[in-house]
Amino acid sequence: MSAKVYFVSDAHFALPVDAAERQRRSTFLAFLESLHGVSQVVLDGDLFQFWFDLGKTMPKGYFDILEGLLRLRRSGTRIDYLAGNHDYWRSPFFRDELDIETHATDLVVATQGRRVLVAHGDGKGPGDHGYKLLKRVVRHPLAIACARALHPDVLEVCARRLDRWSHAQSTAQAVDSRRLEVAAEAAFARGFDALVLGHVHTQMHRHLPGGELLVLGDWLSLFSYARLEDGVFTPCRWPPA
């Protein structure tokens, strides 16, 4: 088995599956196929544009992605899947059916002499109090219970409308690099030597006093990811050069 760890985030696979979506899925599946047998793959949130399963039911339209992940897992590769702000509401399906470890919060990766903190990135660092409040509301058990009372089709319509509003708000904001650096400094103070983030949809690799900050980018336009091999991080794009 190849002692490499790959990190990828923010694919935002969605419905309907038009030509552009089909192409994005095809490239992602080729990427997963290339990773068969590596030691670990970390999906750092927002794999789907919206995922909310109801215990005995689950969203349809994603069989190709799920089958690609299952094939990767059966190759011997460990898969860790962090919750993003679009796919936080997951049941044990991924663990029980696909043998993928899911994480509601941050993940610690200790390998190759490194101690890495992986987080989706939404709400990390100072400021952004409006979003942090919204995050607490939509993840509250009462809000989740109310959502489970809705028909899945109605719930998805509501999620799409909320997503359009959220997207309009986020695209109007420039990337706050200093906020990300403050989050990294907080991780270094806790004994980590690297912080890996998703969510921001930009690719970044900075060497800071105390460690490294990596922002993974996305699989919407950048087709970006990061590799950790022999203790060294390398930001990458697909297809590889």
* Mean pLDDT within 129-154: 67
* Mean pLDDT within 7-19: 94
What pLDDT digit, counting tens, does each position of 154-168 carry?
A: 767 766 766 665 555
Averaged pLDDT score across all residues of the chain: 87
Q: Write down the residue that tokens 């990300």 correspond to.
A: 180
* Mean pLDDT within 107-121: 96
How high is the pLDDT of residue 169?
47
pLDDT band at 172 (very low <50, low <70, confident <90, very high): very low
What is the spatial distance between Cα 121 and Cα 127, in angstroms, rounded to a whole number? 13
Bigger pLDDT: 234 or 146?
234
Instruction: State in Å, rounded, how far the first CA of the chain is from the last one.
Output: 23
How high is the pLDDT of residue 88?
79
How high is the pLDDT of residue 223?
98
Angle at 110 between CA 106 and CA 114, to 5 degrees: 115
Give the helix ranges, DSSP H, for the chain. Answer: 19-34, 63-74, 93-98, 129-138, 141-148, 152-171, 177-189
The structural domains of the chain, ordered by start, are 2-237 (3.60.21.10)
Check whether 122 has a pLDDT greater than 50. Answer: yes
Q: Is 6 helix (H, G, I), strand (E, B) or coil?
A: strand
How high is the pLDDT of residue 52?
79
What pLDDT digit, counting tens, does each position of 218-234 carry?
A: 999 999 999 999 999 99
Check whether 137 has a pLDDT greater than 80. Answer: no
How high is the pLDDT of residue 29?
98
Check whether 78 has a pLDDT greater than 80. Answer: yes
Q: Write down the residue that tokens 């695209």 correspond to.
A: 171
- Percent of the chain at pLDDT > 90 equals 64
* Mean pLDDT within 70-97: 93
What pLDDT digit, counting tens, does each position of 21-75 carry?
A: 999 999 999 999 999 999 999 999 999 998 877 777 788 899 999 999 999 999 9
How high is the pLDDT of residue 163?
66
For residue 116, what are the β-bridge partners? Answer: 109, 194
